[in-house]
Structure 1
Amino acid sequence: MSRYIPLSTERFGDKRWTRFTDYRHAQPLHLVPIMAPEVSRLAGQLPLVFARDGQGKVSLCALTGLTEHKNHCLNGNHRWQLSYVPAFLRTHPFRLMAPPKGKGEPNQRVLCVDVESPWVGEQGEEAFLEGDQPTALVQETLQALGKQAKHFALTERACQVLMEAEVLTQWPLTDHKGQPINGLLRLDEGKLAKVTPETLAKLHKSGALAMAYAQAISTHQLAALKHLAETFDADYRHVDLDSVFGDGDDDLLFDFDN
């Protein structure tokens, strides 16, 4: 399980990290948050869904596995098998996170590190800090995360517009063992056809309309993902996902007190 702790000299002054060489950190993720600019790259490779978390917040995600907490886009060596890797996975072990309620400002984001990551420890290629400041490489990662945060915020806002327009509906998916995959939503095209012109204009202006249509189109990738889950759930060391999806060119636990 991931455990994210804010970067500080007290916790990370003597620790190091290594840039990941595979995606083992994505192994338990059957849902991966994505940004609106990534939709065109992913809609032709994976089903996209609107996922509701325990607090009721809805986000746009790529469905990467048909069993909860299992990622079918990885082979047995933890290699990502599709041509595009979501940005959310490419900044590990770092993440920008909001502090818990009562700590920090409402819109504040803190650079955190997954201390349970296999790429973090006493040994590693890179230091986290130089003196009491983040190293140049960590600062570069922070800048990338800051740009991502803006795109994620706009994407979440578009999801909220879709919810307010009441054009999403439950998507009752089950894995190949009949177990439900909870919290999934999809576009209801029947409801969309009945919205007022004013609501339609709002959906278009926010980018929510294009995002919703892309999600609907991406559902055609479900059969391919289901085939992978059924065939290689126990051991998919030799899966070649290009043969399933078609050739592609390569182009939590939150701890603030420890």
Structure 2
Amino acid sequence: MNADFHAVTRERHAQRSWRKFSSYQWAAGANLVPIVAPELATAAMHLPIGFVHKEGEPPLTVAVLGFEPGVNLFVAADGRWLGGYVPAMLRMRPFALLPAPDGKLVLCVDEAAGEVRELPGAPGTEPFFTPEGELAPAVKQVMEFVSRVEDNKAPTAAAAAALKEHGLLVPWKITLQTDAGPREVEGLLKVEEAKIAGLPDEAFLALRRAHALPLLYAHLLSSQNMPLLGQLARARAAALKQQNVMPVTANGELDLSFMNGGDTLRFS
């Protein structure tokens, strides 16, 4: 189902309510999800963190949730989240900050997400507005949360760009075993640890000024979680095999050179 975002306004939403989603089934196809600086320390303890880069754009810092496009290994068949941390971008649902016609960012809600109800006070839901016409407390919390995520997108992108500028990002080689034979995952980048030791002092200071060092260290630490993806892929393959489905699975031949909550409104 396509998203249907509308700005949260009294005129449209005063007589409606919303509820937090109870299943992550809608995120089952999100194998790479952007993350921002405030969640790095917690995300690195539970998820692999990598980078993707499109020509003409700064590298994007992402939580690696699956090897294959369209397959999020952290979402179980029944919609449960299987990891210890949920990226903030996924916990926003059904809200987002989007540009209005005048270019300003406004809080919007996806009315096609299934969380919006036509009647205020429906069981298990929160109102958008108070009887006095003010944003309801829960919506104010959401606004603060999504605003913090948005405010940190540019600094996180600048930090990742600094890593690329100093030549630290290289292809992250991951081998998948498919029914047709081994295949390399393409497009995912990592920091080559050996390059760090060779950085000139000036480059290291530039990374510090760009606030790229916390991102660098979080990424290196997070690589210890890459085998978890292999375990999840094998478990998923076994479950699908019982259903006579032949999926792509990980064969465990991962590049491990770096190895020497889902509360809606919090990063940790």
Tell me if TM exceeds 0.5: yes
Instruction: Give 3-state SS (helix, strand or coil) of 2:174's partner.
Output: coil
Whole-angstrom CA distance in 2 between matches of 1:65 and 1:54:
23
Could you tell me which amino acid in structure 2 is paired with residue 114 of structure 1?
D
TM-score (norm 2): 0.73
Whole-angstrom CA distance in 2 between matches of 1:4 and 1:78:
22
Q: Is the 8 A contact 2:8 2:109 kept in 1?
A: no
TM-score (norm 1): 0.76
Q: Is the 8 A contact 1:187 1:213 kept in 2?
A: no
> Whose radius of gyration is greater, 1 or 2?
2
1:195 equivalenced with 2:199 (yes/no): yes
Flag structure 2 segments of 5+ consecutive residues without an equivalent: 241-260, 264-268
Instruction: Tell me the equivalent position of 1:126.
Output: 126
1:231 equivalenced with 2:235 (yes/no): yes
Instruction: Tell me the equivalent position of 1:115.
Output: 111
Larger RCO (CA under 8 A, 6+ residues apart): 1
1:91 equivalenced with 2:92 (yes/no): yes
Instruction: Tell me the equivalent position of 1:58.
Output: 59
Distance 1:149 1:179, change over 3 A: same
Aligned length: 234
| Cα RMSD, aligned residues only | 3.0
Distance 1:22 1:189, change over 3 A: same
Whole-angstrom CA distance in 1 between matches of 2:129 and 2:214:
42
Distance 1:2 1:160, change over 3 A: farther
1:214 to 218, 223, 228: 218
Aligned-pair CA distance for 1:168: 0.7
Instruction: Tell me the equivalent position of 1:34.
Output: 35
Aligned-pair CA distance for 1:186: 0.6
Instruction: Tell me the equivalent position of 1:104.
Output: 102
Q: Is the 8 A contact 1:4 1:112 kept in 2?
A: no
- Alignment identity in percent? 29
Could you tell me which amino acid in structure 1 is paired with residue 109 of structure 2?
V
Instruction: Tell me the equivalent position of 1:155.
Output: 156
Q: Is the 8 A contact 1:2 1:114 kept in 2?
A: no
Instruction: Tell me the equivalent position of 2:7.
Output: 7
Aligned-pair CA distance for 1:231: 2.6
Aligned-pair CA distance for 1:13: 5.7
Q: Is the 8 A contact 2:47 2:85 kept in 1?
A: no
Whole-angstrom CA distance in 2 between matches of 1:21 and 1:211:
31
| Ranges of 4+ aligned residues in structure 1 off by more than 6 Å | none
Flag structure 1 segments of 5+ consecutive residues without an equivalent: 237-248, 252-258
Which stretch of structure 1 is more off in the superposition, 153-162 or 124-133? 124-133
Whole-angstrom CA distance in 1 between matches of 2:117 and 2:185:
34
Whole-angstrom CA distance in 2 between matches of 1:136 and 1:210:
33
Distance 1:135 1:180, change over 3 A: farther
Could you tell me which amino acid in structure 2 is paired with residue 128 of structure 1?
F
Whole-angstrom CA distance in 1 between matches of 2:58 and 2:210:
18
Instruction: Tell me the equivalent position of 1:75.
Output: 76
Whole-angstrom CA distance in 1 between matches of 2:209 and 2:51:
19
